[in-house]
Chains A and B, each alone.
Chain A
Amino acid sequence: MVIEVNRITKRFEAFTALKNLDLEVRPGELVALLGPSGSGKTTLLRIIAGLEFADEGRILFDGTNAGDRQVGERRVGFVFQHYALFRHMTVMENVAFGLRVVPRDKRMANADIEKRVMKLLSLVQLDRLAGRYPSQLSGGQRQRVALARALAIEPRVLLLDEPFGALDAKVRKELRRWLRRLHDEMSLTSIFVTHDQEEALELADRVVVMNNGAIEQIGTPEEVYNMPATPFVYEFLGNINRIDCEISHGKARLWGVEVTAETHDGTPVPSGTLKGHAYIRPHDITFIDPSKQEGAPAVVRHVAAAGPTARIELAVEGIPHLIEAELPRQQYLELGLRTGQSVTIAARAARVFPPAAE
């Protein structure tokens, strides 16, 4: 199903949660709404679901206006952050709920309901626990019950609000993969909200980065990570080093290299000399031989070498905060870096923006 969000604005008293926002989700897509808290991502999800209503703008499901339909009529599967299970019902009854509240003349026979529920429970691998109450389940199991319950009504679209937020890291990772598989197998259209960039980048077909009630960038995980459209996306996605620099005539000099400045909305960079920020990913920092190439002198302050990449904190002359670099383990071993060692660094890639007009 195609979901079109058309110039949606939502205000809560004096606070504007969403500002004139547009978004289109294509059939079969898994889209992540990613942003810090207060960016409006959950509000947008709730408006799509029909749990909240926009002050302006329209929501279209397959081209028809969904705005005047109540949440129950939209056939959306909504998975709540804290599961929202009915705690006085067994797992079985929780999942069956959506089938039992159908008007009597359209309701499935009891036996069919039970068959459908058991099928869903085996899909989420909880068929053995059908008779338990939610209080007898672990967090990951509860989340899967919530998912099975949402899927029982055969939704046209699946909406998940911070689906893995309350789970610990290992369970979260398992469930993430499992959700991706489920989404592909059932060919659903899904939107999920998260503030965890890793989750968004790993799981989604497209990531919608939100900030302050507006969309900063929409793109594939690769696009938003490698080609961030705005300084905000740069800082929000992945680790980043931000360095103050000076832009003159559209160019900045950084560690012996000239970088062309750009603006996030494509307008020309103001001429003359102005202050700006350079953004460098930690893995784009290289350790070089100063006799062959121009670079910046630095001192190694701390090394965290556990895992496949080594994280190195560097004190660079003229920069008040530490710079973070990442090296593959093998390269780190070859360089033999040690705390206190003097090195020379350069940037493989960097982007320079004038300060955002805020």
Chain B
Amino acid sequence: MSPSTANSTLAGYDDAPPPPRAWGGSWRQPSVLPGFGITMGFTLFYLGLLVLLPLMALIFKAMEFSWEQIWAAATAPRALAAYRLSFGAAFIAAVINLFFGGLVSWVLVRYQFPFKRIVDGLVDLPFALPTAVAGIALATLYAPNGWIGKLLDPIGIKVAYTPLGVVVALVFIGLPFVVRTVQPVLQDLNKDVEEAAASLGASRWQTFRRVIAPSVMPAALTGFALAFARALGEYGSVIFIAGNLPMKSEIAPLLIIIKLEQYDYAGAATIGSTMLIVSFLLLLPINVLQRWSRLRSAEV
């Protein structure tokens, strides 16, 4: 028995509380299923081969430069502008997806309407569509003479061939990530929790803000992180709508391709490595935050 129950005076009223979560201890836990050794070994090998090896190769390639050269290549004004656009647009797009993706999943979970299955299926299309096709379609729509561009042009909003176009493309490809992570959590959310909030006098907004949103938060953060990471690496759809003007609407992945075409392999690897490190530093706190909010709302 854990010490917290041993000194409790509630004995007469209590059935046993769940045992405290076990932290640390042996790596290997007793289990009815065998195979810790082989599955763990395979996992490490697989991750090493598929993830770590290419990343190491990337960094080794960059190391062909001297430190001064690396610094110069990584911080060239054109590279800095590209990072700014890539990270900035990816972040803005992920935030937009967090809100509107959340809204889409809410509607899909909470309401019944005709063709709901079809609408639900539409959400996955950005996953399946070749990104170049998406990019060309978006560029055509948002070009000054396109269906949407025609409407926006007179009021002075230019989307295609500007950073705004980059955000539009990244919102498009990032949407399914948020919807598909938030949707199942919303589905599992018990209606009686909302009814409890209402019976205690909470308004609908208070119920949403204090009860529903915190429950969905860990999943929403996961969706946000996935959409953000995907947007950072996106290439195909963006280059058609971005216009690709150096210093203005050129994304970092494109700059890498340009360096490659100029046989500047080390330069390309340097920019790639910089992206890698910054992404890791950004995703790490998101993961920590996610873990923290997940622990707080452990399953009852």
A→B interface (CB under 8 Å): 49-51, 70-73, 76-78, 80-88, 97-98, 101-102, 125-126, 128, 133-142, 144, 146, 149-150, 152-153, 167-168, 170-171, 174-175, 178
Contacts and interface: CB of A to CB of B under 8 A. Distances in A.
B176 to A, nearest CB: 26
Contacts of B215: 87-88
Given A101-B200, A102-B201, A133-B298, 6 more contacts: A51-B195, A88-B217, A101-B197, A138-B16, A152-B200, A153-B201
30 contacts: A51-B195, A77-B199, A78-B196, A81-B192, A84-B190, A84-B193, A84-B196, A85-B193, A85-B300, A86-B197, A86-B210, A87-B299, A88-B297, A97-B202, A97-B210, A98-B200, A98-B201, A101-B197, A101-B202, A101-B210, A102-B201, A126-B10, A135-B300, A136-B20, A140-B15, A141-B13, A149-B200, A150-B199, A168-B15, A171-B13
Interface string B1-37: 0000000111011111110100000000000000000
A171 B199 contact: no
Interface of B: 8-10, 12-18, 20, 190, 192-193, 195-203, 206, 210-211, 214-215, 217, 293, 296-300
A193 to B, nearest CB: 14
A72 B17 CA distance: 32
Contacts of B20: 136
Given A97-B200, A97-B202, A138-B14, A86 B299 contact: no
Given A97-B197, A101-B200, A125 B13 contact: yes
Contact of A135 (B199, B214, B298): B298
B13 A175 contact: yes
The 4 closest A-B pairs by CB, nearest first: A98-B200, A135-B298, A88-B297, A84-B192
A178 to B, nearest CB: 7
Contact of B12 (A77, A102, A174): A174
Contacts of B299: 87, 135
B195 A71 contact: yes
B198 A70 contact: yes
